[in-house]
Amino acid sequence: MTNSKNLVSADWLSQHLDDDYVKVIDGSWYLPQQSRDAIAEYKAGHIPGAVFFDLDKNSDHASDLPHMMPSAEDFAEAIGALGISNSDHVVVYDGLGFMSAPRIWWMFKTFGHDKVSVLDGGMPAWTAINGPVEDKVPAVTATHYQAVLNADCVSIRSEILAYTQKGGRQIVDARSAERFSGRAPEPREGLQSGHMPTAKNIPFQKLVGRNGLFESGSKLQQVFEDAGIDLSRPIVTSCGSGVTAAILTLGLRELGHEDTKLYDGSWAEWASHPDTSDKIIR
């Protein structure tokens, strides 16, 4: 893989791991049915110097929806406590390769931090090059961090409802084809499966090659075009709860598509809110 603005290879990280300006984050997060403990795995072994970012802990706890975006102030406090400054190049990875790391990449981008990358292939790619791991939790010195929310990166339910009724942005959903079509249940109890009117489906796994690395160039473009997405028009990404939608956002950014929003509440909100729970296509 050729390093891009949004992705770095395991080889690149290996060469730059000791650079003072490079800060590594283990952003692993798993669905309950995956039966994996992200914090326990981090403590058992992580990329040397990596700090752990808890996606659920660093969310808007005033919301009853899962891991919604925190305030700029709360995000700044959490990142500063990890010893990360605004001038650092942040590299985020997760234990599956592509699951939660792009969500944290998107959070940094949305709060104005441009120098942030996802480790292409995540921990599996690091292991494949025999990259070192350690179980020592690094000592960090808290620093000042400033975050400013770019609201243009985030879409809310009322906007999505308008898109389904009047057009505007294309909606692309990262969930599985079975959940999207209503043939498989949602992992969150009580939620109907199905999709929003006008939405297109690109299961996020389609953006990852057989080698576990992110697709690029014409292959990546073809994934979106095969799903009926017009890359010359504005897009909003969605998924179950706003995590894997960021993988689609990452893919769009790799293709140079900048007019992209992410629906933070995603299906967890759409299928549970009284204004939209009756607007489900199967």
Q: Give the type of residue at 134.
A: E
Q: Which two tokens stand for residue 70?
A: 């925190």
Residue bearing tokens 């000592």: 139
Give the Cα separation of 190 and 18 in Å (integer): 47
- Residue identified by tokens 């690029």 is 216
Contact 236, 261 (CB under 8 A): yes
Q: Is 153 a catalytic residue?
A: no
Q: Determine which one of 96, 116, 236, 239 is catalytic.
A: 239
Distance, C-alpha 83 to centroid of its chain: 22
Helix axes of 101-110 and 245-254: crossing angle, nearest 10 degrees = 70
- For 9-71, list the strands marked E by DSSP: 22-26, 51-52
Question: Taking a C-beta distance cutoff of 8 angstroms, is the pair 95, 55 a contact?
Answer: no
The Cβ-side half-sphere exposure at 266, using a 13 Å CA radius, reads 28
Rounded to whole angstroms, the Cα distance separating 33 from 188 reads 10
DSSP structural state of residue 113: -
Could you give the residue numbers annotated as active site?
Answer: 239
